[in-house]
A and B are shown apart, each in its own frame.
Chain A
Amino acid sequence: GENVEQHPSTLSVQEGDSAVIKCTYSDSASNYFPWYKQELGKRPQLIIDIRSNVGEKKDQRIAVTLNKTAKHFSLHITETQPEDSAVYFCASDYGGSQGNLIFGKGTKLSVKP
């Protein structure tokens, strides 16, 4: 079945540095790749998403890149701040439009002041 691999599982950076989280997926039919941020005990919050017809998308300090040929996508956070500390999950849709989301195992990002 569909699988999403996410690396690293933990990431510690100094405030102001960049953070990169990488994911790979297996289903060629996947078209939608969201990233969620989850703070302890809270719901996953969508921070950015990308669709298969786009190679890169940016929203202020956050960017996502997608390589459909290689089936991998990455989250880039620049100028990290302590409030960026959370668990980040990548996901891909399974079965195309309105398909369920398959999540990666998460990356715990710690930003040290």
Chain B
Amino acid sequence: EPEVTQTPSHQVTQMGQEVILRCVPISNHLYFYWYRQILGQKVEFLVSFYNNEISEKSEIFDDQFSVERPDGSNFTLKIRSTKLEDSAMYFCASIPPLLDTQYFGPGTRLTVL
């Protein structure tokens, strides 16, 4: 069964550095999402993406964040200048056509030092 994949599984970076988290959604899915989960807390919505543009974004998704679908398969989340509080697990998710079930990737653990 196809799954959403994410790379890397763990990223360690210095405060102020840029990071790019990568996701490959399931191939026929049309809606894509990024969520984050700070350790021990709930999953929080960051941004949704459809038809090559942002559909919705949360208050967390400020100017330091951006998303891109540079080709037909990858969906990336960029954090321009990381802060300590960006340390979290970042999950990508996608939805198949005509359905609303979100399938999550395995996550990227981001550690900002």
Interface residues of A (CB under 8 A from B): 31-32, 34, 36, 42-46, 49, 51, 89, 91, 93-95, 97-106
Distance in angstroms from B2 CB to nearest chain A CB is 14
Distance in angstroms from A92 CB to nearest chain B CB is 11
Per a CB cutoff under 8 Å, which of B31, B50, B58, B91 touches A43? B91
Give the distance in Å from the alpha carbon of A49 to the alpha carbon of B105 in the complex.
18
Give the distance in Å from the alpha carbon of A79 to the alpha carbon of B41 in the complex.
28
Give the distance in Å from the alpha carbon of A98 to the alpha carbon of B48 in the complex.
9
Is there a chain A Cβ closer than 8 Å to B43's Cβ? Answer: yes
Check A102/B31 contact, CB under 8 A, given A32-B100, A34-B101: no
Per a CB cutoff under 8 Å, which of A34, A45, A100, A104 touches B33? A100
Q: Please name all residues of chain B whose beta carbon is closer than 8 Å to the beta carbon of A104 when the two chains form the complex.
A: 42
Is there a chain A Cβ closer than 8 Å to B15's Cβ? Answer: no
Q: Name the interface size band of chain B.
A: 20 to 34
Give the distance in Å from the alpha carbon of A104 to the alpha carbon of B41 in the complex.
10
Check A89/B101 contact, CB under 8 A, given A43-B91, A100-B48: no
Give the distance in Å from the alpha carbon of A99 to the alpha carbon of B57 in the complex.
11
Check A101/B107 contact, CB under 8 A, given A44-B43, A106-B42: no
Q: Please name all residues of chain A whose beta carbon is closer than 8 Å to the beta carbon of B58 when the two chains form the complex.
A: 100
Is there a chain A Cβ closer than 8 Å to B45's Cβ? Answer: yes
Q: Please name all residues of chain B whose beta carbon is closer than 8 Å to the beta carbon of A34 when the two chains form the complex.
A: 101-102
Check A97/B42 contact, CB under 8 A, given A42-B106, A43-B91, A43-B106: no
- Complex contact B56–A95 (CB within 8 A): yes
Binary contact readout B59-102 vs A (1 if CB under 8 angstroms, 0 otherwise): 00000000000000000000000000000000100010000111
